[in-house]
Amino acid sequence: MHSHKDSNPVLEVAILDIKEGLEKNFEDTFNKAQGVIMGIDGYLSHELQKCIEKHNRYILLVRWKTLEAHTTVFRKSEQYKEWKSLLHHFYEPFPEVEHYQLVFGNST
């Protein structure tokens, strides 16, 4: 098994399926909520992208300095409670979140 390198930034990936009809409301709420993650120590950047093929699907990509910045610093913070209360009720099903590290590529 290939172990991850701690010096390599971590990409958080979550495919978000939004309850039918709530896409616009979700986008407006995300627009406000994104400030919450941007203030977390270890946060690098993020993108919310909307699926072309499936109208209620989005992908959230967040880049963190380390895995722990997301799984420990953010998820145990007061800000996470705010993030959850703003966004979690839009998801159906509740998303699986995975973390990745760069192998090859020319964008970060």
> Smallest Cα–Cα separation from 100: which of 14, 13, 2, 7?
13
Fill in the per-residue mask, 7 to 26: x = in contact with a copy of itself (CB under 8 A), - = not in contact.
Answer: ---xx-x---------xx--
Tell whether residue 54 is a contact of a copy of itself (CB under 8 A). yes
Is the torsion defined by CA of 11, 97, 51, 53 positive or negative? positive
Distance CA 20, CA 6 (A): 39
The 8-class DSSP code of residue 13 comes to E
| 58/74 with CB nearer a copy of itself | 58
Shortest reach from residue 105's CB to a copy of itself, in Å: 3
Q: Considering the rule CB under 8 A, would residue 28 count as an interface residue with a copy of itself?
A: no
**Cα(11)–Cα(72) distance, integer angstroms:** 15
Residues of this chain that interact with a copy of itself (CB under 8 A) are: 1-2, 4, 10-11, 13, 23-24, 27, 30-31, 34, 38, 44-55, 57-59, 61, 63, 67, 98-108
